[in-house]
Structure 1
Amino acid sequence: MQEDHWLWHMYDTIKGSDYLGDQDAIEFMCRKAPELVYELEHFGMPFDRNSDGTIYQRPFGGHTQNFGQNPVQRACAAADRTGHALLHTLYQRNIREQCQFFVEWMAIDLIRDREGAVVGLVALEMETGEVVLFQSKAVILATGGAGRIYHSSTNAYINTGDGLGMAARAGIPLEDMEFWQFHPTGVAGAGILITEGVRGEGGILLNSLGERFMERYAPTMKDLASRDVVSRAMDQEIKEGRGVGPEKDHVLLKLDHLGEEVIHKRLPGIREIAIKFASVDPVREPIPVLPTCHYQMGGVPTNYYGQ
């Protein structure tokens, strides 16, 4: 694989955040990332492998060598289902540690004592309607954001901001709520995510003229520029009349040139999604895509100690 360094990773992350990210947290993440990948591997994460047995990596948007000089293969991958594989790996680890799950329960409100410390929460058992008090030494909010407020969104239907609401009602401030990340490649009309790994494997974006327009907006990184750059470029192409379709409201993601073998091996889930939600087979024709709401950047203020 290509040479990489945590300092290059840190540079890309800070630059990608337009210098608004918490640089202490970014440094911690980039320094620790390699050993955490190995920890996941030991947990049983089924990463793809290179011929020499090392973990397969692919370039994602904004990943560069030598402080922005050229793209680099950085993202460790399990075909195009890395998140799905990660979820199941961590779930199995929780089972091994005998964690107790409360399935089909919904947390409603945090409970704070007179000093302001969070000491538990109120939850609803959805089957019976029973309201229960949970007392705890610590509460970790892992509810996701509120991406479902957008019509076109990659988020699950549960992402309606309930965790943020719990924090706000408990008097905990929220920060950076105005910042939203739009992923460049959601299926037009559905919002279903087409992973960045498609462009990492060599997929390209085309306008109605058949132009690879990212060469104009980001001559070095092209289709692997950061998500905000690619999303703005796509929006600009559509606004200037170079969109595709009857309404000229999307662009095309072309990957048929990769060949059926590569798509079957590296992007099997994407082919399934394209056939099911866009009625196209990417082995033969491009996928209609447009920017779609992906990630809420703001939330409860925290630091890399988890405080």
Structure 2
Amino acid sequence: MLFSAIVFIVETKTYKKRDKHLLMLFFAVGCSVPGSSYTIVDHTYDAVVVGAGGAGLRAAIGLSEHGFNTACITKLFPTRSHTVAAQGGINAALGNMSEDDWRWHMYDTVKGSDWLGDQDAIQYMCREAPKAVIELENYGLPFSRTEDGKIYQRAFGGQSLNFGKGGQAYRCACAADRTGHALLHTLYGQAMKHNTQFFVEYFALDLLMDSSGGF
């Protein structure tokens, strides 16, 4: 089973003075914490995602669109998460500007990590990157375009063709200089479309587990 009962203890920024164990107890039974001005409410979800940057939003979308009742806990409103600061773009061997190959992308990435990166993970990322970019396009991300309507790709350092022997690659798909901004707005819209429940300006405090390690 992908997810069983996942329970997080959450609190808003407005509640600063707390007894951690007392908070856990009253969260579980849904009673008011003495001295507080609000009631702790017990929520039940199939899955809880902590964080609403690009990765967190995409995880929430994947769960929600497969029918899981999903909540996303975030310290900030999702479109203010730090992904918004990413200006450059997304590297993917689409080959829209010149011939390209995900294996060349993988070579550049492994080399760029000084051969310290997890090569299995790098292989997966580079192989699947074109599909991820097309998925974002289908979600509605407003990528910059070439004159013939293809996704525009710009050149960045560390990109090469033919395993470093073929010159500069043009591999970075972008939405002008605000790719992160466009990405967050697109993913947040998709998460809302799939009825993801957001807890904005909340924190996860504890993950409760039983003696067998289950949630």
User: In structure 2, what is the Cα distance between the partners aligned to 1:100 and 1:77?
Assistant: 29
The CA deviation at 1:23 is 1.0
Cα RMSD for the two superposed structures: 1.1
Report the counterpart of residue 195 of structure 2 in structure 1.
Answer: 98
1:56 aligns with 2:152: yes
The SS at the match of 1:88 is helix
Question: Does 1 or 2 have the higher relative contact order (CA < 8 Å, sep 6+)?
Answer: 2
User: In structure 2, what is the Cα distance between the partners aligned to 1:10 and 1:83?
Assistant: 23
User: In structure 2, what is the Cα distance between the partners aligned to 1:108 and 1:64?
Assistant: 44
Report the counterpart of residue 110 of structure 2 in structure 1.
Answer: 14
Runs of 4+ in 1 over 2 A off after TM superposition: 109-113
The SS at the match of 1:68 is coil
Q: Any unmatched runs of 5+ in structure 2?
A: 1-96
The equivalences for 1:19-98 within 5 A come to 19-69=115-165, 70-98=167-195
The CA deviation at 1:13 is 0.8
Q: Any unmatched runs of 5+ in structure 1?
A: 120-307
The CA deviation at 1:116 is 2.7
The CA deviation at 1:61 is 2.2
Equivalent residue letter for 1:54: K
The SS at the match of 2:156 is coil
TM superposition score normalised by structure 1: 0.37
Q: Deviations over 1:202-227 (max 9, x none)?
A: xxxxxxxxxxxxxxxxxxxxxxxxxx
Q: Deviations over 1:204-254 (max 9, x none)?
A: xxxxxxxxxxxxxxxxxxxxxxxxxxxxxxxxxxxxxxxxxxxxxxxxxxx
User: In structure 2, what is the Cα distance between the partners aligned to 1:108 and 1:62?
Assistant: 40
User: In structure 2, what is the Cα distance between the partners aligned to 1:114 and 1:78?
Assistant: 48
The SS at the match of 1:54 is coil
Identity of aligned residues (%): 60
The CA deviation at 1:100 is 0.3
User: In structure 2, what is the Cα distance between the partners aligned to 1:34 and 1:17?
Assistant: 21
Report the number of matched residues.
118
The CA deviation at 1:63 is 1.1
The SS at the match of 1:60 is strand
User: In structure 2, what is the Cα distance between the partners aligned to 1:107 and 1:58?
Assistant: 39
The CA deviation at 1:60 is 1.8
Query: Structure 2 vs 1, CA of residues 20 and 113 (structure 1 numbering), >3 Å: closer, same or farther?
Result: farther
Query: Structure 2 vs 1, CA of residues 112 and 61 (structure 1 numbering), >3 Å: closer, same or farther?
Result: farther
The equivalences for 1:154-193 within 5 A come to none
TM superposition score normalised by structure 2: 0.53
Equivalent residue letter for 2:124: F
